[in-house]
Amino acid sequence: MFNNEKGFIRVAAATVSALALVLTAACGSSQSNSSTSADSSDITQQTVTPGKLTIATGEPAYEPWVMNDKPESGEGYEAAVAYDVAAKLGFKKSDVVWVRSTFDSAIAPGAKDWDMNIQQFGITDARKKAVDFSSSYYNDSQAVIVKKDGKFANVKSLADLKDATIGVMVGTLAYDYVKKSIKDDIQTFNDDAALAQALDAGQIDALVTSTVECVYMVQSEQVKDATVLGRIAGSEDKNGMGIVLPKDSKLTAATTKAVDELNSDGTLKKLQDKWLAEYTTDLTELK
């Protein structure tokens, strides 16, 4: 009996010990899962470099989107928007890291070495196949540039341009709006630089492109002695410009929510009034 009793005690002890191990493992597993769950719910830990938000922009980055090609200053419309979005996501200004990328590589399929990219990307269905977009933070319009000494320098309406030779970039919204609002006979060019050169050389009487680009062309004298006649009424891009994120990014939903909140609370309007007034409200509207 004595030996059997000792044997029973040894078995009971072993069973208790095994149960203790199972409970300990279960508790450890629960703590580990809880930790993992907490980490996965913290958006600041889901970035390329945990705790930092890496934002890409162009090289160079142009005004009024980024002033003096220094996005880290927060000066310029897109730089300011980027920092406000970062704050909504839980990042301090010191947590934001700026890098540069080309426009084309940013919207190409494949892995990215940044968390988001902001450099006037129009939101399109074709691009959505390769990358994610936030909701729009700006909806640009189309505007008209003419030479100050040209015969169309003083026109007041779109109808006054029906006899003008008008140039646009191929495959752009400008083409659609010129065709819809002015005329069918349109000259097309491969890029804005060629378009500006054509007007500068007198090959066309007027050019139509995005309003911000029009103002920049005139200010930077890409077209010498030119003026922006005004914005084409009703030409706002309904899809607008969005922040680009890698396809299926864990930050996409939160970034969209941040942009939506900045829009609804009036922040985007204030930033547009500060940085983009001369590209919007200060321009005549052509009807």
Average pLDDT value over all residues in the chain: 87
CATH number at residue 161: 3.40.190.10
Could you identify the residue written with the tokens 């309003």? Answer: 211
Q: Is 127 found in the same domain as 247? A: yes
Q: Is 149 found in the same domain as 106? A: no
End-to-end C-alpha distance for the chain, whole angstroms: 108
- 131, 106 in Cβ contact below 8 A? yes
Query: How far apart (Å, rounded) are the C-alpha atoms in residues 168 and 239?
Result: 20
The residue out of 199, 214, 232 marking a domain boundary is 232
pLDDT in tens, 93-112: 999 999 999 988 999 999 99
Outline where the chain has alpha helix (H).
2-41, 77-89, 103-106, 125-128, 173-181, 192-200, 211-219, 252-264, 267-275
User: Does position 25 have pLDDT exceeding 60, yes or no?
Assistant: no
Q: Is 223 found in the same domain as 152? A: yes
Using alpha carbons, list the distances in angstroms from residue 94 to 172, 233, 257, 270: 38, 41, 22, 23
Q: Is 112 found in the same domain as 183? A: no
With respect to residue 226, please indicate whether it lies within any of the assigned structural domains. yes
With respect to residue 18, please indicate whether it lies within any of the assigned structural domains. no
pTM beyond 0.85: the answer is no
Q: Is 59 found in the same domain as 122? A: yes
Whether the CA torsion 83, 86, 88, 90 is positive or negative: it is negative
Q: Is 250 found in the same domain as 227? A: no
- pLDDT above 90 as % of the chain: 71
Buried b (16+ CB within 10 A) or exposed e, 51-66: eebbbbbbeebbbbbb
Between 10 and 210, name the one with better pLDDT.
210
Q: Is 263 found in the same domain as 154? A: no
**What is the CA angle 106-195-172, rounded to 5?**
50
pLDDT in tens, 55-93: 999 998 988 999 999 999 999 999 999 999 999 999 999
Using alpha carbons, list the distances in angstroms from residue 128 to 107, 122, 123: 9, 10, 8
By residue range, what is the domain housing residue 188? Answer: 142-232
- 268, 262 in Cβ contact below 8 A? yes
The count of domains in the chain is 2
Query: How far apart (Å, rounded) are the C-alpha atoms in residues 22 and 270?
Result: 59
**What's the average model confidence in pLDDT over 126-152?**
96
